[in-house]
Structure 1
Amino acid sequence: MSAHPEISALECFIERVGLSIESDGLPRIAGRMLGFMVLNGGPVSFSELSERLQVSRASVCTNARILSSLGVIERVSRPGDRQDYYQLAESPYARLISGYLERKRQMYAIVQDALGALSSDDDPARRQRLEEMAAFYRVAIAHLQRLVEEMSASGTGTGAVPDAR
């Protein structure tokens, strides 16, 4: 057993978040950075992130841009310091879901455009596949919108407590 079990548990959390994020198609380092930011909040410099996560500063920079574009972290500055710092964004999970919702709306619009471009004598199987895709996005958008509203109503940006199974 480690002399500092809380450290190994925290490191385990960071690694597991990295693996989970990786399974969603994002870089594992982005997930590890997210895990670190959840535990530490910030602000934290590129140098500190690089050192604590044992990755290059370039990797920190690349993955910070990814997490920032998702609305999960934000860049902050300190007076008189030229380094970039990042911290966990306010309501990061609500912002993450809102971004996901927006991407689903964009996809729905693409499908609607394709359906509108079909002629009446077009392949019925093609139309059916597009209509099924449109139905999927309509349902997904409705559920995501409700989730965003629930998270906003909770006032915490975290929504309901998930099932801990």
Structure 2
Amino acid sequence: MPEPFTTQWREFIEECALLSEKFSFSRMHGRIVACLVLAPQPHLSSGELCALLSVTKGALSKELRIMVDEKILKKVLIPGQRSDYYTLSEHLWANRLSVLLPPLQASVDMIVRAKQMVDESARPVNLEHLVEMYAYFKWRNEMQCRMIEDWQDRRPQIIAETRAYFKSL
């Protein structure tokens, strides 16, 4: 079992939870990521995560499933162990960017359907809101794709610069 976190580290984990919420993820999502970032070992079991975060297995299990589905976490199987172990995905941050692509595209598709409904009905509608909405989500989708590509292209350089910065601290 990993060593429990000090009060200072617990406060950091809660700060990550609140920040995660501001990015439209759950607080538990932020706690899990922070816990795995701070863990000295490469992976933790769900029981270890529960103990370190002082939560029940029920409070944790749904979020773990979501994070595995979204490729934020990777489930690790350890021969001879009955517990499920989790680690941060190798491409966690690119995956985080990718999570938004389906809802962004769904938004574009929904607006196209709305425009078709307007065209098929006799109901008068101010199209300016629909035009603005479509333009925004189309642009946002394109920007999200560019961000993913840019991160993948520049990641090695940014990582090297960050390592150098951390050494200078």
TM-score (norm 1): 0.82
Matched residue, 2:102 = 102
Q: How does 1:15-164 map to 2 (within 5 A)?
A: 15-40=14-39, 42-119=42-119, 121-125=122-126, 127-156=127-156
Residue pair 1:77, 1:84 contacting (<8 A) in 2 also: yes
What code does the residue aligned with 1:21 have?
A: S
Tell me the distance in 2 between the aligned counterparts of 1:15 and 1:42.
21
TM-score (norm 2): 0.80
Runs of 4 or more above 6 Å deviation:
158-161
Indicate the SS of the match to 1:79: coil
Gaps of 5+ in 1: 1-5
Gaps of 5+ in 2: 163-169
Tell me the distance in 2 between the aligned counterparts of 1:24 and 1:150.
20
What code does the residue aligned with 1:72 have?
A: I
Indicate the SS of the match to 2:104: helix
Residue pair 1:101, 1:144 contacting (<8 A) in 2 also: yes
Indicate the SS of the match to 1:82: coil
